[in-house]
Amino acid sequence: MDGLNCIFNRRSIRKYLKKPVEFDKIAVILKAASKAPSAGNLQDYRFIVLTDKGVIRHVADHCTEQYWIAQAPVIIVVCADTDRTEAYYGLRGQRLYSIQNAAAAMQNMLLAAYDLGLGSCWIGSFEEEYLSDALSIPDNIRPQGIITLGYADGDPIEREEVDLNTMVYFNKCGNPIENMNALLREYNKEIEKIVTLPEPIVDNAFERLKETVKKTYHKAKNNLKNKNSSRNIKKNN
């Protein structure tokens, strides 16, 4: 698995081909889920794999009008053994840690599915009581989410991404880095912002961007030169 490729390119898939998913791929996805971190390594997540089309249709009918779910060849209901986390961590374990643990497992499943050439989607809106009754889930096991799996029917719509500058702060909340796009070398995003400004400001902004690019280039060049020098010294020794 190329981890960063999966993280950057995975998308939610809501339309599936009428093609069964190989069970060995489902097994790998479940294995990936079981490797997720959990509070105290309790591994309190539980997984119910649904392949029966009738059962999947009934579940889709109780997911707040998300009827497309019925197309998926496989859905996996991710649950948490809340008694287990509460026994170790009290009410915080039941109300928070069990949710975090299940969420980590679900993210692993999405990434593993993408790596295996499958489409997937995280479903968080569903009728919990119906799901528990329909799938004979005991009171101490609480459904946390649903993952749909299948082969994608077409390409997903590109999602609009929120600027990283609005999410990241340094040392204290509300203290952002001056230019995250330059730091990540995503200069095309910086250019898109610049061209919408008045002409005099555009000229100044481009000059500043050119300086940033130049500094980044020289820094990378010097780092490479130092690395090569170190290699040569080691080789001669």
Question: What is the block-wise mean pLDDT of the chain (237 residues), using blocks of 10 residues?
Answer: 88 96 98 97 98 97 96 98 96 96 98 97 97 96 97 87 79 75 62 60 64 70 70 61
Q: How far apart are CA 185 and CA 79, in angstroms?
A: 40
Residue 203 has a pLDDT of 60
Distances from the Cα of 196 to the Cα of 139, 151, 185, angstroms:
56, 40, 20
Distance of alpha carbon 32 from the chain centroid:
13
Query: What percent of the residues of the chain are helix, what percent strand, and what percent coil, each to the nearest 5?
Result: 55, 15, 30
Residue 101 has a pLDDT of 98
> Looking at this protein, which amino acid is placed at residue 171?
N
Asked if 85 contacts 93 with a C-beta cutoff of 8 angstroms, the reply is yes
Terminal alpha carbon distance of the chain: 37
Listed as own residue / partner, the contacts of 27-32 with beta carbons closer than 8 Å and 24 or more positions apart are 28/112, 28/116, 29/76, 29/109, 29/112, 29/113, 29/116, 29/118, 29/149, 30/76, 30/109, 32/108, 32/109, 32/111, 32/112
At 89, list the tokens: 């961590």
Q: How far apart are CA 52 and CA 49, in angstroms?
A: 9
Residue 55 has a pLDDT of 97
Domains defined for the chain, CATH in brackets: 3-150 (3.40.109.10), 180-236 (no CATH)
Residue 196 has a pLDDT of 61
The pair phi, psi for residue 50, each rounded to 5°, is -115, 125
Residue the block writes with tokens 């093609």:
19
For residue 3, give the 3-state DSSP assignment: helix
Give pTM, 2 decimals. 0.75
Angle at 211 between CA 230 and CA 172, to 5 degrees: 85
